[in-house]
């Protein structure tokens, strides 16, 4: 009897692992909602659960916007909070609990400061502290923040694109949100702390290690962090042209699978900054492709080059600016990669042996510049995205779910419009022309047809114009929705629209 029970248990475990693997391999990204911002763009996004509610914080130029996220992925605007000097954009948003109090830590990029906000019961914010740049700390062009909890205290590590003396800084976080300086180190030719755009922490055998990416000096570094917040360099890995891609090291994250600890690093190669060549300090870089690099951590906490997933025609890895871990079952992990140059979200799988493989991707229709966040509600995985584009000004929510078969089908996007009574005939004609011209502005639109209502049944509810757009896939619809030409249309004809009714359906 015992052997039968053991057989059943092993069989169930085996089948559950197969189901998990099949689900992971079949995941797709589906947009759920989007909302406009008061900030000029969406550079950084984080999320936080408080008292059973789920909040989203978006940081752009000028402001931080706060939203509620429900279990269906719907976003509801809560509040807006002005950044110091109306600067920003807010970078390195990190929400965390410090001895019973919830805080949002904000790197004010062009304000050269770190701002601390208390998260109130409704998710809104109240500023409680700010520390500005000085000769003692490295807070010019703040980009990345990382909270590290030790046994008796918590610390905030700060990195960025310091204009004068780049480096890494640690502050102790007090119960009221105040920060006191613990240690700063200046960048050298050895360590990679010039342009820290990504940081990640591993706790291994009771020891804490911090991993940083150096955007300007093209590499990653590891540091041992001690109980008192002090830290020292462990080792450093530089870019080469053979087995790693670290020119413009950008996002840094990691996970533990089995007994192995991994750090995953992306990059936005310096070749993509051709429009601002003086921004890049080291001119001796060579483009040898795009890829995501995986490092294994040894017993000393040091980084060891392990695996590289190269960009090809099957994935979207050009200009990686954010890598978020979506889920992990201890045997494999799913990551979401946001790309600025491919303008997409790419899903990747990392197995226990440290091998990355590509899953599905979604072309978002907007460039992602650090603005990607993974969040979970009741077991459902969501992604929150945004763009640095100043004509965008939105936060977007996505749900991860098993892919729905679309082979052999096209998507019809039907837009029904009702014009305001005071809209002139000339305004309506102009609106018609602009809408039809989208086909010339957005190649992803396979076809547009339109017409004026001719129904005599009395059930049209005042809607007079119907536009039917055809798309060949999910990606094309996303590109259309957030394309500058479409956003310009909405802005231009919005004032004369009384109502809109939109439906999409798939057909052969």
pLDDT in tens, the chain (508 residues): 445 544 444 444 444 444 445 457 889 999 999 999 999 998 999 999 999 999 999 999 999 999 999 999 999 999 999 999 988 899 889 999 999 999 999 999 999 999 999 999 999 999 999 999 999 999 999 999 999 999 999 999 999 888 788 999 999 999 999 999 999 999 999 999 999 999 999 999 999 999 999 999 999 999 999 999 999 999 999 999 888 999 999 999 999 999 999 999 999 999 999 888 888 988 888 898 999 999 999 999 999 999 999 999 999 999 999 999 999 999 999 999 999 999 999 999 999 999 999 999 999 999 999 999 999 999 999 999 999 999 999 999 999 999 999 999 999 999 999 999 999 999 999 999 999 999 999 999 999 999 999 999 999 999 999 999 999 999 999 999 999 999 999 999 999 999 999 999 999 9
How are strands ordered across the β-sheet holding 154-160?
A: 142-149, 154-160, 167-173, 179-186
H helices of 105-217, in order, are none
Token pair belonging to 48: 């936080």
192 with 61, same domain: the answer is: yes
Q: Answer yes or no: are the C-beta atoms of 215 and 180 closer than 8 Å.
A: no
- Whether 108 maps to a domain, the answer reads yes
Task: Tell whether 394 and 454 lie within a shared domain.
Answer: no
Residue 17 lies in a domain: no
Buried b (16+ CB within 10 A) or exposed e, 205-239: eeebbbbbbbbbbbbbbbbbbeeebebebbbbbbb
Domain boundary among 374, 402, 430: 402
Return d(Cα 26, Cα 402) in angstroms, integer.
5
* Same domain for 429 and 319: no
Question: What is the token pair recorded at 151?
Answer: 């046994």
pLDDT of residue 473: 95
Residue 431, domain CATH = 3.30.70.100
* Confidence (pTM): 0.93
Where is the domain boundary, 341, 370, 402?
402
Identify which of 405, 391, 380 has the alpha carbon closest to the alpha carbon of residue 490.
391
Domain limits for position 471: 410-507
Number of domains in the chain: 2
Closest CA to 195 of 221, 234, 223, 172: 221
Structural domain contains residue 107: yes
Q: How far, in Å, CA of 269 to CA of 242, rounded?
A: 15
On whether residue 10 sits in a domain, the answer given is no
Is 23 inside any structural domain? Answer: no
In a domain, 224, yes or no: yes
Question: Are 77 and 129 contained in the same domain?
Answer: yes
Tell me the sheet residues that pair with 440.
none
Give pLDDT, residue 503. Answer: 97
In a shared domain, residues 451 and 348: no
Q: Are residues 121 and 252 in the same domain?
A: yes
Q: Is residue 22 part of a domain?
A: no
Q: Are the CB atoms for 152 and 135 separated by under 8 Å?
A: no
Give me the pLDDT at residue 23, please.
Answer: 59
Same domain as 110, residue 258? yes
Whether 416 and 395 map to the same domain: the answer is: no
Instruction: Answer yes or no: is 386 within a domain.
Output: yes
Helix (H, G, I), strand (E, B) or coil at 472: coil
Which residues, 6+ apart, have CB-to-CB distance to 322 below 8 Å? 250, 251, 266, 337, 338, 368, 370, 371, 372
Per-residue model confidence (pLDDT) at position 211: 98
Domain of 130, CATH number, reads 2.130.10.10
pLDDT at 5: 45
Q: Are residues 183 and 331 in the same domain?
A: yes
Choose one of 373, 402, 431: the last residue of a domain. 402
177 and 316 within one domain? yes
Structure tokens at 480: 């259309």
The residues pairing with 119 across neighbouring beta strands, listed in sequence order, are: 125
Q: Please give the pLDDT value at position 456.
A: 96
């Amino acid at each position: 009897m015992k052997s039968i029970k053991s057989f059943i248990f092993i069989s169930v475990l085996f089948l559950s692992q197969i189901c998990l693997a099949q689900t992971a391999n079949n995941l797709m990204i589906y947009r759920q909602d989007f909302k406009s911002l008061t900030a000029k763009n969406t550079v950084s996004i984080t999320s936080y659960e408080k008292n059973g509610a789920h909040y989203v914080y978006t940081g752009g130029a000028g402001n931080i916007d706060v939203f509620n996220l429900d279990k269906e992925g719907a976003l509801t605007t809560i509040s807006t909070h002005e950044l110091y000097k109306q600067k920003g954009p807010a970078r390195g948003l990190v929400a965390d609990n410090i001895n019973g109090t919830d805080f949002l830590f904000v790197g004010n990029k062009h304000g050269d400061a770190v701002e601390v906000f208390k998260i109130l019961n409704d998710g809104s914010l109240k500023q409680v502290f700010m520390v500005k740049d000085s000769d003692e700390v490295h807070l010019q062009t703040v980009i990345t923040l990382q909270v590290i909890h030790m046994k008796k205290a918590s610390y905030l590590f700060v990195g960025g694109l310091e204009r004068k003396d780049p480096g890494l800084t640690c502050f102790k976080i007090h119960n009221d949100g105040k920060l006191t300086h613990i240690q700063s180190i200046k960048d050298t030719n050895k360590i990679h702390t010039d342009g820290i755009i990504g940081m990640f922490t591993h706790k291994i055998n009771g020891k804490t290690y911090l991993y940083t990416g150096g955007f300007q000096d093209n590499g990653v570094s590891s540091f041992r962090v001690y109980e008192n917040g002090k830290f020292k360099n462990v080792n450093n890995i530089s870019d080469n042209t053979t087995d790693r891609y670290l020119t413009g090291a950008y996002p840094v994250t990691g996970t533990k699978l089995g007994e192995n600890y991994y750090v995953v690093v992306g990059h936005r190669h310096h070749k993509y900054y051709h429009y601002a060549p003086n921004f890049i300090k080291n001119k001796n870089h060579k483009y040898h492709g795009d890829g995501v690099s995986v490092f294994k951590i040894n017993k000393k906490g040091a980084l060891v080059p392990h695996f590289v997933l190269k960009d090809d025609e099957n994935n979207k890895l050009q200009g990686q600016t954010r890598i978020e871990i979506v889920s992990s079952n201890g045997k494999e992990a799913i990551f979401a990669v946001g790309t600025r140059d491919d303008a997409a979200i790419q899903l990747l799988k990392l197995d226990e042996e440290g091998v990355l493989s590509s899953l599905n991707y979604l072309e978002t229709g907007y460039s992602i510049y650090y603005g990607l966040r993974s969040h979970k509600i009741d077991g459902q995985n969501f992604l929150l995205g945004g763009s640095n584009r100043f004509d965008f000004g939105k936060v977007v929510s996505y749900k991860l779910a098993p892919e729905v078969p679309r082979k052999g089908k096209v998507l019809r996007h039907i837009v029904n419009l009702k014009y305001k009574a005071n809209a002139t005939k000339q305004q309506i004609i102009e609106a018609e022309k602009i809408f039809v011209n989208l086909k010339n502005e957005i190649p992803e639109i396979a076809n547009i047809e339109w017409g004026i209502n001719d129904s005599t049944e009395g059930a049209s509810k005042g809607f007079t114009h119907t536009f039917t757009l055809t798309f060949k896939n999910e990606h094309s619809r996303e590109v259309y929705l957030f394309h500058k030409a479409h956003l310009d249309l909405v802005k231009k004809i919005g004032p004369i629209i009384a109502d809109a009714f939109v439906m999409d359906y798939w057909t052969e």
